[in-house]
Amino acid sequence: MVMFETYFLKFYVQVANYCRDRIHSALAEELEVIMANLNDGSSKDNCEEQWRRAFSKCFLKVDDEIGGKASLEPVAPETVGSTTVVAIVCSLHIVVINCGDSKALLCRGKEPMVLSMDHKVSM
């Protein structure tokens, strides 16, 4: 049993490291598309919807890369994944998105404020 867990542990680390190294650049790619659409007037979505779309596409892109669907070698077997939480701090807003059970908290003084909700599988 320990051998089985150790075997998959290396993939969890590889996936976590890949996400750490890639999420920000994948998000930047999606934000460039949004900015281009804003500049040419083709986007009619509000700001919140644009952030949702950018993060969704970013997460799906990285997931496809990890699983080898994006014409890359897979980083890990299909059964291995990761959770993530990303926060973008802007001058007027904090944009937070999570996938899975990662949680974002903002602490002001002694009072924590939860900025994300867990995603649980429902059947």
Backbone angles phi, psi at 81, to 5 degrees: -145, -165
pLDDT for position 43: 64
Regarding whether 99 and 44 lie in a shared domain, the answer is no
Regarding whether 91 and 47 lie in a shared domain, the answer is no
Which residue has 């290396």 as its token pair? 10
pLDDT for position 1: 46
Regarding whether 91 and 67 lie in a shared domain, the answer is no
Regarding whether 58 and 7 lie in a shared domain, the answer is yes
Distance CA 103, CA 116 (A): 6
Mean pLDDT in runs of 10 for the chain (123 residues)?
54 85 95 82 76 92 86 78 88 88 88 85 65
pTM to 2 decimal places: 0.76
Regarding whether 72 and 20 lie in a shared domain, the answer is yes
Q: What stretches of the chain adopt beta strand conformation (E)?
A: 84-89, 94-99, 105-108, 111-114
Residue range(s) defining the domain that contains residue 112: 83-123
Instruction: From 61, 64, 77, 67, select the one nearest 28 (Cα to Cα).
Output: 61
Q: How many structural domains is the chain composed of? A: 2
Regarding whether 65 and 90 lie in a shared domain, the answer is no
pLDDT for position 23: 94
Regarding whether 63 and 12 lie in a shared domain, the answer is yes
What crossing angle do the helices spanning 2-40 and 47-67 adopt, rounded to 10°? Answer: 140
Regarding whether 12 and 68 lie in a shared domain, the answer is yes
The tokens describing 82, both together, are 């990761």
pLDDT for position 87: 92
Q: Give the three-state DSSP class for 98.
A: strand
Regarding whether 50 and 89 lie in a shared domain, the answer is no
Instruction: From 98, 101, 20, select the one nearest 62 (Cα to Cα).
Output: 20
Instruction: From 106, 97, 102, select the one nearest 24 (Cα to Cα).
Output: 97
pLDDT for position 80: 78
